[in-house]
Amino acid sequence: MTANVRLVCVMVGLPARGKTYIAQKIRRYLNWLGIQCELFNVGNYRRKIAGAHMSHAFFDIHNQEGLSQRREAAQYALRDMLRWFEEDEGTVAIYDATNSTTERRTWLHEELTKHDIQILFIESICQDESVILSNIRDVKLSSPDYQGVDPDTATKDFVARISHYEGFYETITEQDYSYIKLINVGSQYVINMIQGFLESKIVFYLMNLHIRPKRIWFSRHGESVFNVQDKIGGDADLSPRGLEYARLLPDLIAKNLGDRPLTVWTSSMKRTIQTAAHLPYPKKQWKALDELNTGVCDGMTYAEIAEKYPDDFAARDEDKFNYRYRGGESYRDLVLRLEPAIMELERQENILIIAHQATIRCMYGYFMNLNHEELPYVRIPLHTVIELKPAAYLCEEKHYKVQVDAVDTYRPRVHRAKSEKGINAGASGEIADAASPIWPLNPPVTPKRSQTSGQ
């Protein structure tokens, strides 16, 4: 990918077709990969200009005042998007609106090509009334347009709003445009003139994106012998307490799973395979889920690393996401290694992933939309199952603790002094913080997302 490539993804489609959901997913995915991406939602600009709680009549094509204000909102969104490209040096912008006429798409195409910006149109088409009504109930009725409005009244109003758009909606037929059409929640795709790295990457992602309710469970392996010894990496066996966690894990999963089918993914390392041994579900091993490769530091304690490689130890705390162990990996490398697993996760419904601290951090960071500074510090405790329920605009999270003690391997963020003396002092101070107390037995069942948390 060349550094000066700039791309706008222009969403197209009738209301309640999942455009904003798709746009949010694209932004989350690209930012997770380190490709700077921002979303510009024209509806937000329209609410600033005309206010929220506008009845469906505002969207009637014969309502000249409403039409003028919606056109003004589209222009403001475009202006801010162009400013973002210039001032923030962005790479991918998403222009989220219905853009449901040939005239509107032509205007956008002409304005963007003036600034040497590539355009990819993404059209979401759905004729399944049950999916549309479900989207209205689950997403649109919680939007600012209908806050405090009776759900039945809101549903009728939004259905009427859709009917106004249907009167002048024009599907994409412009053969000289780059576009992808997603038909009936991914049952069919139409692709035209896809060019370059970014467009191809986004199209491939969209073809793996399935909008179905799902639950994902993450669990680190049970406490290992290396955990007890405060060593990193390796392929150690479970400790006695780790084996007890493996024995109790099936009851916790069965209690909270109900009669849903489940597949278990593990890494190729012994401690995850041993943790999954008693689970009565289909299992799949992924080499991609292996722990962060710590290179020459494999099997060492943090105290030993600080003593033998003091510069590396300090450098990692300065930029944990990008620091690469000598002969090993960085968190950035791990994100790229995990991309195929994320693609497959988007296609699945109920998955239990038994993996490692850094691996789970990267996958958790994808679903929780964490930036690269936050991601390496998420707290992923041992003997705890994290449940995620991805939705359109958020991801519900619950923690379930198995009542088996384990060491706490979390290393907090340390801001080091620049001097040699300061680095050494910081290193010894952090090792003291990294001692291994017993993890508390009763964390909250539904904690808020942790903003700081370590391999």
- Angle (deg, nearest 10), helices 19-33 and 196-207: 120
CA distances from 396 to 30, 38, 164, 349 (A): 21, 23, 34, 15
One-letter amino acid at 155 equals T
Angle of CA points 39, 365, 3, to nearest 5°: 50
Q: What is the rounded CA–CA span in Å between residue 26 and residue 301?
A: 39
**Integer Rg of the chain from CA:** 25
- Of 291, 329, 346, 387, which one is the catalytic site residue? 291
List, in order, residues 6 or more apart from 49 with CB less than 8 Å away.
Answer: 69, 72, 73, 76
List of E strands, 269-424: 283-285, 350-355, 384-390, 395-401
Is-contact 406 439, C-beta < 8 A?
Answer: yes
CA distances from 263 to 244, 252, 278, 358, 439 (A): 22, 15, 13, 21, 28
Q: Among this protein's residues, is 96 annotated catalytic?
A: yes
The 3-state secondary structure of 9-75, one letter per residue? EEEECCCCCCHHHHHHHHHHHHHHHCCCEEEEEHHHHHHHHHCCCCCHHHHCCCCHHHHHHHHHHHH
Angle of CA points 22, 27, 28, to nearest 5°: 95
Q: Among this protein's residues, is 291 annotated catalytic?
A: yes
- Of 109, 221, 356, 383, which one is the catalytic site residue? 221
Is-contact 21 139, C-beta < 8 A?
Answer: yes
Residues labelled catalytic: 96, 221, 291
